[in-house]
Structure 1
């Protein structure tokens, strides 16, 4: 992990924040003082927050849609944004554990610390899957559960309702506005869930191989079955023997797809797909990639590609 720009006393970050404030280099423009300022670690929660808050919120995301959210280089601009934020939205389940805590220390913003209304760990809003015993020898393990829960649109509903409730607590004068925004978003999302469920009906029970164990929630929604993962342990490259064993699984069980997020390297996945005869689907799982500007667009993109490829 890249070194963080924070010393033990947080003085480096504090000085950087002061310099940036004096020079006007903020992520939040100065004329947005009346708006609720939201910082989201990932663009998906940022997109949902915009749907709920509309013109009453200003939202920035720290992770770009082309980045692996497990790793992020600290930038002074992040500290400035966190310092001015009214609400922090994070994935939790230790996804941001390697980079967010030092930024929160450097931000010196009591309102967005854990336990405050301005700190919303969205993993508390969903039923976790993939809970494991803590053992770092097994790779990038998340003992509280698999953190890639936003790929299940049913969790999108839960997240939206949680964000609306927290916005109402922070800005009670506009609680009804946030509830209306949430209701409208949830209504649209529920209608699309009905459509997606029908679209995915023909592929239910299909066995797939994943690159990284981040598809568990979407597979549950879609009724797909994970037959194995190219990474034998999260974050650990596969050995030749692991790949050979997985090839046998594909041949014996009729695996049709290899699913991979777009921010991981594809060389190994393509080689595996060529050898196994399975179709490689490299799909974005964050809003903003491949021209997807909303959470619904992101899920729709994934569903349509899986459904369409299964027909070919």
Structure 2
């Protein structure tokens, strides 16, 4: 038995061949264009982020809270210098030029330049001093501390620091009040970053002082007192229906960073200033959901 195979090309005409060749040529042209675009960096993205050392990048859509533990030796009238240190990271696919990291402080508060000269402004990481410029400026409302990195290569993440001055507790408050003591002036720092080909990003970071002996005590207080207070406050501002919908659909979470450095005191212009001396204190991130089924009905 013989099987006769049909020739699939017998009905192909010249026009069909030309069409196929045209399709193949078009595909090859697209591949060539894509290859050239890749070589030219057309599909590369530019991005820059800031993060605490060893932590994920912080978000722009909510205020980041930092709780700093102080010790019992710090008097109410004393002030505490809190370092503000971030890794400035090029998280994109190509180098960045003229990266600006700006700290904005309330003019009525105090920060690094109120106590120290320009020599304290340093950085850590693989970056020369010539690659970093620091300038200060001001408006009617804010003092600005501006750092410009002239070149930030892919994957680079130098640490750049400033500082804010806080107080253990407002003097008018009783000794047995559980802890949140920080001057409302200058407690929240507005941080902005931008670079060539990167849109400006704004971050709000709120620094608070908590009188605790160590990181474990600070964690226990935050988890069992502060976080619960936040959850209860959320519930008190919402109806049962609204709260129920939040329980069902909200992915909201709150994250705070806790740190318990060691401090030493110095005298500046007749005032006692406490400075952290431990180089690498533990930075602990704590997250929780601000809604609880147990509070649905009050």
TM class, shorter-length? under 0.3
More helix by share: 1
Larger Rg: 2
More strand by share: 2
Task: Give the TM-score taking structure 2 as reference length.
Answer: 0.22
